[in-house]
Amino acid sequence: MFGWSKRKATVGAMRDGHYLIGWGMASATYPVNHLPSSARVAIRQDGTAIAESSTHELGTGCYTVLTQIACETLGLPLERVTVEIGDTNLPKAFVSGGSSTTMSVGSSIQGAAKQALTKLIELARTNQASPLYQANADQIKSDGGRLFLANNKSKGETFQAILTRAGVKEVEGHFDMDFQDAQKTHSSHSFGANFAEVRVDRDLGEVRVTRFCRRLWRGPRDESKNRYLAVAWRDHYGHRHGPDGRDRARHELWSHHQPGCGGISHAGQR
């Protein structure tokens, strides 16, 4: 992508007219940060859900990625899930920082969503009027706002039908995420490399950085689970360029669409 293999190591060997050209490379690493956090998730009788935590949005996509996590866990479409953050009356969470929020708050939202879904499943499988009556809980799946049997998707019912029949306004889950760092035996990092091209005007001594390329490892490649790339890219751009970069990233294309550049940052979100 950058063309590092074509680099000429001899000093002054790379030139373009009256410009001297230099290429440089530096390694990159970033720790996998996480902080204790809590969340509440409720599935409501109208088939919608709400996820709550007291973290806050910096503009790097917290609302988006936390909504995606809740949707994926509950089996609900995006338009049926609301995420509420930024209020100290909500379940406790740390500040958004250090690329820790997706792992920390996202994990607590996932845990709370699983608890709420478990309660919903119990309502269905213990009610004689439900098509899921006496079904094994581990054989019941959720998708599109419905619970159904894993081996027979037509045998199931909507979240609304389950809660309405039971006369329950909502089922909720609460989850406190604690990573037990004192028990860790290994460190966790993402890794990468930064490449830069610099041009120096031989006559004026003017220095210009004409290309910069970053290639970072974001974890095992599994496209079925890698659903947050757009948010990861925006977060990466914001880290690299600051507030202006976060704004510009909403309008620009992926870096690998630009000549000589490529790569996406680690998947941790602010």
pLDDT in tens, 214-231: 887 766 555 545 555 555
For 91, which DSSP code? Answer: S
Tens digits of residue pLDDT in 76-117:
999 999 999 999 999 999 888 888 888 899 999 999 999 999
Phi first, then psi: give them for residue 119, nearest 5 degrees: -65, -40
CATH match of 37-181 with 3.30.420.40: no
pLDDT value at residue 256: 36
pLDDT band (50, 70, 90) for residue 167:
very high
- All residues at 6 or more sequence positions from 132 whose CB lies less than 8 Å from its CB, including other chains: 121, 124, 125, 140, 147, 148, 149, 155, 156, 157
- E-strand stretches of 45-186: 49-52, 81-84, 140-143, 146-149, 152-158, 170-177
Taking a C-beta distance cutoff of 8 angstroms, is the pair 27, 191 a contact?
A: yes
- pLDDT greater than 50 at residue 58: yes
| SS3 (DSSP) at 90 | coil
Domain boundaries, the chain: 4-32+188-257, 37-181
Mean of the per-residue pLDDT values of the chain: 83
For the entire predicted model, the pTM comes to 0.74
What backbone torsions phi and psi does residue 243 show, to the nearest 5 degrees? -55, -40
More confident residue, 255 or 36: 36
Quick one: tokens of 169? 């306004």
Percent of the chain topping pLDDT 90: 58
pLDDT tens profile 18-53: 999 999 999 998 888 888 999 999 999 999 999 999
